[in-house]
Amino acid sequence: MTKPLKPKITKQSLLNSYRILRFIKPYKWYFISGMICLVISSSMFMIFPAAAGEMANTAIGKGSWKISVKEFGLLFLGILIIQGILSYLRTTFFARVSEMGIADVRKALYEKIITQNMTFYESRRVGELTSRLTADVEQLQNAFSITLAEFIRQIVILIIGVFVLILMMPKLTLIMLGTFPVIVVSSVLFGRYIRGLSRKRQDRLADTNIIVEESLQSFPTMKAFANERFESLRFFNSITSMVEISMNYARMRGLFFIFIITVLFGGLFFILWQGALMVQEDKMAVGDLFSFIVYTGVIGGAIAGIGNLYSTLAGSIGATERIQEILDLDSEVKVEDEAAFEPLNLKGNIQFNDVYFAYPGRPDIEVLKKIQFNIKQGQRIALVGSSGAGKSTIVSLLMRFYQTNSGYITVDQTNIDDFNLTAFRKNIAIVPQEILLFGGTIKENILYGKPNASESEILEAARKSNAIEFIETFPEGFNTVVGERGIKLSGGQRQRIAIARAILRNPSILILDEATSSLDAESERTVQTALDNLMYNRTSIIIAHRLSTIRKVDCIYVLKSGEIAESGTHDELIQKEKGIYKHLINLQLNDE
Ligand SMILES: Nc1ncnc2c1ncn2[C@@H]1O[C@H](COP(=O)(O)OP(=O)(O)O)[C@@H](O)[C@H]1O
Ligand SMILES: [Mg+2]
């Protein structure tokens, strides 16, 4: 059993989801037109029962509408035709609102997600975010296009029906309305409970999707570890618990339905009986009793429908809340940002001033301590140290992936936090150890460094990065498709594409994070010459595993547990008898 949600939260959730209506606002005239069609057609529909009753009265000579039975036929035909036209219009109006409004929601949501910072990304699972964009948005769309309209239609029917009946026969109507509060109160209570279940079910579904996505993403790893059984069990457990929740959900909905139907039919038979007594005493015409019963049936249907729709709507409110929660987050950058297009033209003087840092996800572990160094424009420095020492973290801070806890970083004597983030990052290029290429052509992948580059720039970049060598061996050259559905490139080839990307970008600051660490000696040599081309005249930070590649840099910083333990040129550091660097060099010399 889920605890019923606290009323306070429910109210807040209603307020939260209410705000999603701002996406409908630009299309409000379509929405209003749809609503008008809806109200008119539902109202017209309510003429039927009265007209049918009157027709029966007319047929036995007790009619009061002063039209013949034949004319009744024409009246029905007319109503049917108008109904048809109105329904068509209503559907298209609402489709317009929901399709366009939901497209806007999707765009806004996607934009929000991709403009979040690294911490956001690290704290969520990809599958969870995907299901926000798909499952939750879909549920919202259903609410807008079908459920909401249906809900309003039923309410119109209910109001008009009750109104007509009170005018026609107050006594019977009062008897009928006796059952009304029971149904309303119980449907609200039930609806609240069902909403909790629906939310749980949605979460479980997301969990299941995450498992599928993760195991498919790491398919080779799963194979290598022969963990099919493990993955299958994990999936099976998740599915099983989802089935349990879903069954519970279905049972509750079923109970709800039975409850409503029982109350409804009980009431209906009771009223029928009362009405028959009135006809017997000649207090009412047979046709009127007929109308009354049809109205009561329609009203009853509306009430049952509202109860059902209420729980569906309540489910959509859960989805809306989750969407709204993401829409309310602050972005670290703007997608449309004027300032981002003003080039900063940084020279690349970098200074770290007494920087301390702990990752937001693990605030108690200080990853960097007292980091202090200075790189002049065009210099090359290297960061070395054992794995986990904090080398990558230093460059993450420089790229403003995270905020320092204390101390600050300047580029060209300006605190990097004062730059426009997008404009700032445009001055930096990074070549990491693992390059993930996007599904698409080689050309598109190179263009990622500068989407508006010209043909000749691309060619130049491919030449300088030594990528041209292998690109030309492919029959389709630059148009060769790589990535998930394309040709598989080797590590060294991917690396050269990444270098071509960086060359296109023409950054003033270049970061190589173990760029050649996973390459064999042969490809390392090719990539190294490409890297030398790339580093020429740029401030470069080289994180290297193989110390032979950094002998000529201007300064080497040796990191140990987040602190700079030694610094100096290769020649200086090699002199330190008990130095860490010297020790590392000796280790690697022995290996070779
Ligand atoms: N995103 C992260 N969240 C929390 N801790 C992290 C994160 N990235 C790295 N760390 C931790 O910070 C320390 C330094 O990591 P890192 O800078 O990647 O080391 P290096 O690049 O020198 O191998 C390690 O202890 C690592 O576990
Ligand atoms: Mg690293």
Identify the pLDDT of residue 1: 32
Q: Tell me which residue range forms the domain holding 54.
A: 7-327
Contact 416, 467 (CB under 8 A): no
Mutate to test the pocket of ligand 1, among 393, 404, 543, 557 (most ligand atoms within 8 A of CB): 393
Residue 7, pLDDT above cutoff 60: no
- How close is the Cα of 388 to the center of ligand 2, in Å? 7
pLDDT band at 9 (very low <50, low <70, confident <90, very high): very low
Q: Which atom of ligand 1 is nearest to the CA of 385?
A: 22
Task: Tell me the pairing of strands 555-560 and 406-411.
Answer: unpaired
Residue 592, pLDDT above cutoff 60: no
Express each pLDDT in 469-518 by its tens digit: 999 999 999 999 997 767 788 888 999 999 999 999 999 999 999 988 87
In a domain, 366, yes or no: no
pLDDT band at 183 (very low <50, low <70, confident <90, very high): low
- 391 pocket-lining for ligand 1 (C-beta < 6 Å): yes
Mutate to test the pocket of ligand 1, among 359, 558, 563 (most ligand atoms within 8 A of CB): 359
Contact 372, 353 (CB under 8 A): yes
Higher pLDDT, 257 or 155: 155
- 389 pocket-lining for ligand 1 (C-beta < 6 Å): yes
Nearest to 131 by CA among 319, 302, 353, 287: 319
Identify the pLDDT of residue 264: 63
In a domain, 582, yes or no: no
In angstroms, the Cα distances linking 120 to 357, 366, 388, 401, 421 are 18, 20, 22, 11, 17
**To the nearest whole percent, how much of the chain has pLDDT over 70?**
95
- 359 pocket-lining for ligand 1 (C-beta < 6 Å): yes
Residue 287, pLDDT above cutoff 80: yes
Residue 180, pLDDT above cutoff 70: no
Express each pLDDT in 538-578 by its tens digit: 999 999 888 888 888 999 999 999 999 999 999 999 999 88
Residue 190: CATH number of its domain: 1.20.1560.10
DSSP letters spanning 479-511: G-EESTTSBPPPHHHHHHHHHHHHHHH--SEEE
The separation between CA 68 and the C-alpha centre of its own chain, rounded to angstroms, equals: 61
Identify the pLDDT of residue 266: 72
pTM of the model: 0.76
Dihedral over alpha carbons 116, 122, 128, 130 (to 10 degrees): 50
In a domain, 315, yes or no: yes
Altogether, the residues listed in the chain come to a count of: 592
In this structure, the residue with its CA closest to atom 16 of ligand 1 is: 390
State the average pLDDT over residues 194-214.
85
Contact 275, 267 (CB under 8 A): no
Express each pLDDT in 438-450 by its tens digit: 888 999 999 999 9
Domain count of the fold of the chain? 1
Q: Which atom of ligand 1 is nearest to the CA of 387?
A: 23
- 558 pocket-lining for ligand 1 (C-beta < 6 Å): no
Identify the pLDDT of residue 364: 94
Identify the pLDDT of residue 4: 38
In a domain, 181, yes or no: yes
pLDDT band at 151 (very low <50, low <70, confident <90, very high): confident
- 343 pocket-lining for ligand 1 (C-beta < 6 Å): no
- How close is the Cα of 541 to the center of ligand 2, in Å? 13
Identify the pLDDT of residue 18: 81
- Tokens matching residue 548: 């032979």
In a domain, 187, yes or no: yes
In a domain, 458, yes or no: no
State the average pLDDT over residues 87-113.
92
DSSP letters spanning 45-109: HTHHHHHHHHHHHHHTT--SS---HHHHHHHHHHHHHHHHHHHHHHHHHHHHHHHHHHHHHHHHH
| Residue 509 phi, psi (nearest 5) | -120, 130
Least trusted range by pLDDT, from 12-21, 257-266, 346-355: 257-266
State the average pLDDT over residues 311-318.
79
Least trusted range by pLDDT, from 192-201, 258-267, 380-389, 490-499: 258-267
Identify the pLDDT of residue 540: 96
Contact 239, 212 (CB under 8 A): no
Which parts of 260-323 are beta strand (E)?
none
Side chain identity, residue 368: L
Residue 5, pLDDT above cutoff 50: no
State the average pLDDT over residues 341-368.
94
The rounded mean pLDDT for the chain is 87
Express each pLDDT in 241-271 by its tens digit: 889 988 988 898 888 778 777 766 776 777 7
In a domain, 229, yes or no: yes
In a domain, 522, yes or no: no
